[in-house]
Structure formats: C-alpha cells, structure tokens
C-alpha cells in the first residue's frame, strides 16, 4: 500500500525515488487511528505487528546463515526468481494484513490501491 502511494507521490532523481517525509510519509492516509481501541482496530494492529515481525524474522533467517549472507539489496533484488521463499511468504502475509486494515478488496495492483488511498484522502 505504501509503495503504491510512494510511486505516485515521490519525485525522482534519475531513476531513483526521492523519498520525502513531507510529501510521501506524512501524507499517506493511515488505515487506523492511533487512539482507536475498538476490537477491530486492536485486531488489525496486532495482525500487522505480527506480520511485520515475521518479515524481520525471515530476513534474519537468510542473513544469519553465513559470513557471506545477503544484504538487504540482494534479499530484495527483483531480478532474481524468488531465492528467499520464506521472505516472500512473510511479505505476502504482511500485505494481506495491511490490506485488511485499509478495507482493500481490489485486484492487488498499484492503480486500485492508489484509488482507495486517494478516496480516503478526499473523504478526510
């Protein structure tokens, strides 16, 4: 969700994104209010937290295997064909938890994600 928003709003320097806290980070509509203690919000926050920890655990699984362990750039190299399946599974689970918190039921593409986010901004 965040990457889709970032690709829409961030500037570019050459082919790299120019990430800005004032343009990107501070403007993405968050799915939950920090003070929301409703059952739905608590469950969503817990699910996201657990899924995020699973991503960190999966990274550690691959990074602790040897002195030549892959750095983050290699773990997320999109030109490789899924050499880190546990990390891929963990990210899929995290995406699902975040999607559920946003109430997203789209096709999984950037366009439908950004459409949902822009509607949330317009409704705020």
Cβ neighbourhood burial of 7 (10 Å; 0-12, 13-18, 19+): middle
Q: In this predicted model, which residue has the larger pLDDT, 40 or 67?
A: 40
Same domain? For 56 and 93 the reply is: yes
Same domain? For 62 and 98 the reply is: yes
- Domain, as residue range, for 56: 34-102
Phi-psi region of 23 (alpha: psi -120 to 50; beta: other; left: phi over 0): alpha
pTM for the full predicted model? 0.85
Same domain? For 91 and 47 the reply is: yes
pLDDT tens-place string over residues 61-115: 888 767 778 888 888 887 888 889 999 999 999 999 999 999 999 888 999 999 9
Domain count, the chain: 2
């Amino acid at each position: 969700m965040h990457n889709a928003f970032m690709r829409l709003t961030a500037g570019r320097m050459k082919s790299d994104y120019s990430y800005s806290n004032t343009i990107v980070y501070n403007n993405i509509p968050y799915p939950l209010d920090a003070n929301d203690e409703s059952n739905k919000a608590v469950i969503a926050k817990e699910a996201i937290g657990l899924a995020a920890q699973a991503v960190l655990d999966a990274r550690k699984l691959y990074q602790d295997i040897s002195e030549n362990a892959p750095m983050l750039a290699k773990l997320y190299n999109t030109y490789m064909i899924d050499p880190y399946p546990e990390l891929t599974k963990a990210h899929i689970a995290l995406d699902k938890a975040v999607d559920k918190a946003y109430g997203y039921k789209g096709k999984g593409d950037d366009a439908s994600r950004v459409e949902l986010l822009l509607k949330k901004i317009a409704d705020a």
